[in-house]
Structure 1
Amino acid sequence: MRRPVFASLLGLALVAVAGPMTASAAPAATSAPGDFYQAPSPLPAGRPGTVIRTRPATVLATALTAKATTIMYHSRDAQNADIAVTGTVFTPTLPWLGRGSRPWVNLAVGTQGMGQQCAPSKQFVATTEQELEPVELLLANGWGVVVSDYEGYTAGSTPTYVAGVSEAHTVLDMARAAASVPGTGISAGTRWATMGYSQGGGASSWAASLAPSYAPELNLVTDVSGGVPADVRNVAESLDGSLIGEGLQLYALIGLQQAYPGRFPLDEALSVEGRATVASVKTQCVVQTLASFPLKRFSDYSTGQTIQQFNTRPDVASVYAENDLSTRPAPTVPVFQYHAALDEIVPIGQARALNQTWCAKGTRMVFSVVPGDHITGETTGLPGAVSWLADRFAERPLQTTC
């Protein structure tokens, strides 16, 4: 699904916001025994990035430019436990005519939803995936593309939305796994870039931060991240009572509880209605969720606590602290960070703070403010992002705004 289409669907949904939507623009959920997305149980031992299974994927939008393959591979969660993760490899079908070997872009996707049917690899096949626009643009430049579904889209699991360490691991291990897919031509010398927007901007930034320690063998040359939710606590609190943000706040709380069991006690803070709401949210894709909670607050679903009161609990605050990107190592590769001027979902202030922190730590960066709100910001920022990638792959001189 293209971003303009996504925005149009959201607009139509908000017109009918008086009642929850009954369907989302995504394929029907499936969890039948023997399904590709059912992880082996027990999970066989495997190093991060080891492929578990693959199958060809029919992605109509890229059929003329790339061969698509859905894969399941080993990764590590926020506790460093072995997990199965799925994703998509787009191998260009045309010869690479640029310098050196073909570069690859590790695209971290934006918010999909909590339902199993929302997995990007499923939505690519169903032609409902909102990240098709950047995938097509990257392929048009001759670059290979990989897209992780992140943790939580295998059958019976729950996404660990905005859990930074998990996102970094699943993104970096996607690059490792792609090297085992026949025809990619990926080698130890392959040049990689991480790239993402919104949740994806957070995931790609986390991947760039942790790559030297978690996947030092990857030849990462740059990161491009837009609409970065660097301070998850700040973002969660800013969404409280907003027009379309409460559902995303619930996503974050659900995701962190899933990623940090026993340390982020969301369930015990919820009322009976709140627990029913969370159960429903776990089945939804993002268009439905954005339209379902206008002007709602966390206190509407809790036993009376505000989001600020819940967030001050020592156990909860410690999880937020671990997911504050500014406290993690600054990337050692050049970074292009952009943000929409009128972003109403991810505050630009906390993104600027990340930029300033990383600049102070020596990362070579450009911070660019682009026109639009949060949803349109990815599209308005794409030309600059792709131009930056082309310059870094071509090793052109770099100017920073630090």
Structure 2
Amino acid sequence: MKKISRLILAAVIAACGVVVATAGPAYATVPGYVLSSSTASLPPSLSALATGKRIQYVTTNINGGVITATGLVLTPRTNKKNRVVAWGHGTTGLADTCAPSTNQAVFWEEARIAVAELLERGWTVAAPDYPGLGTVQQHPYLVGASAGRSIIDNVRAARNLDSALSTQYVVDGHSQGGTGSLFASQLAPSYDGNLVLKGAVAIAPLSNAQEIIPYIAGTPVQGYLVMALFGVAAVEPSFKPANVLAAPAEAQLGVLQTGCLYEIMAAYENFTAEQLVEGGTVPAAVITKMASYENPLQTAPSSPILLVHGTDDEAVPYFLSEMLAGQIQAYGVSLTFETIEGATHDTAVIQSADLVANWIAARFT
């Protein structure tokens, strides 16, 4: 009977993405519980270094409700050291087809290089897709508390697959994942249970969003703004992006479901500010709302932090991390701030891969 109940519960979760915590066996609603596991197809540069499992696991939304997420657990083929590093990927899109665990085209080159370095050090890598990428919920894009939970719970899931893994872990992420990494450090004391967070790496994370949102409309990167509006709507259904977007922008919304990052950016890159948002300006109340969901470290981080940013970042301006560094230091938390001269949003990941891995190794020792 218990086996049948478990199967029914798993089917409900898979179909609906949400389950009431009191239904079925209690262990199947515990964050990190692995609902399914299958052999993952990995990019060649990673399959040479690791075996992979694609998993569906239990996590929670920002209100504590039980939901499901998907992701990868990558186990080194050699030199395994029984420590876990979570990798938070950068922006891929909003649609299910944009989940890196099933779509190698959005397992970006810089992510492959960063993850390969972690695997070569002997660490198991937990790589979440984030809620709504690969599951039926809407993706809460740039809602850091959502990404942070799924990052931590992917680590829990990795340990549920391999009981030899230590409770010690480090979170590491780029762009959207860098912000998620910082949120994970903020959430860990009250959320990660018996896990022990040793450090958090944030490469080119979004922070202080209120400083740049007013200036995005009318620029080549304004597709990010469109996605971010729908990220807010995913966690706050009463928020309507249509009330902010202008008619020409609304006419292109189909790309959010049919394409991933590059297609979305191409669809909006040539719009004027007035074609993107009503009146050409994002309302102040909307900016405040977006920042409340997107800005990391509104409470103190719980671990040492490595902050990495390239000076030529075209997506997340370098000055935001200069501001963020001061905010971290104000908490009295150990901070290492590495500036990568001349690096762009993506090349900062590549150029810092060894530096990041060395910093993580020091946290584990």
TM bucket normalised to smaller: 0.7 to 0.9
Deviations 1:262-311 (A, max 9, x none): 1x33122334433222232332211222333335345313343512xx2x
Among 130, 133, 139, the alignment partner of 1:150 is 130
SS at match of 2:30: coil
Partner of 2:340: 370
Partner of 2:3: none
Among 242, 267, 281, the alignment partner of 1:292 is 267
Shift of 1:56: 1.2
Among 234, 251, 258, the alignment partner of 2:234 is 258
Deviations 1:164-223 (A, max 9, x none): 111111111111111121x4622xx43211001111111111111111111142111111
Deviations 1:75-106 (A, max 9, x none): 1112222211000000122243xxxx522110
- Separation (CA, whole Å) in 2 of partners of 1:299 and 1:317: 20
RMSD: 2.4
- Separation (CA, whole Å) in 2 of partners of 1:50 and 1:297: 46
1:352 aligns with 2:322: yes
Shift of 1:380: 1.7
| Pairing 1:2-401 to 2, within 5 Å after superposition | 39-41=14-16, 43-44=18-19, 45=21, 46-59=29-42, 60-96=44-80, 102-124=82-104, 129-130=108-109, 131-181=111-161, 183=162, 185-186=164-165, 189-243=166-220, 245-262=221-238, 264-307=239-282, 310=283, 312-313=284-285, 317-329=288-300, 331-371=301-341, 372-394=343-365
- Separation (CA, whole Å) in 1 of partners of 2:17 and 2:174: 34
TM-score by length of 1: 0.79
CA shift in 2, pair 1:42/1:325, >3 Å: closer
- Separation (CA, whole Å) in 2 of partners of 1:62 and 1:261: 39
Give 5+ residue unaligned stretches, structure 1: 1-35, 395-402
CA contact (8 A) 2:245 2:278 kept: yes
Shift of 1:241: 2.3
- Separation (CA, whole Å) in 1 of partners of 2:314 and 2:290: 24
CA contact (8 A) 2:71 2:128 kept: yes
TM-score by length of 2: 0.87
CA shift in 2, pair 1:150/1:261, >3 Å: same
- Separation (CA, whole Å) in 2 of partners of 1:255 and 1:236: 14
Structure 2 letter corresponding to 1:218: L
Shift of 1:340: 0.5
CA contact (8 A) 2:170 2:200 kept: yes
Give 5+ residue unaligned stretches, structure 2: 1-10, 22-28
CA contact (8 A) 1:227 1:374 kept: yes
- Separation (CA, whole Å) in 2 of partners of 1:241 and 1:265: 21
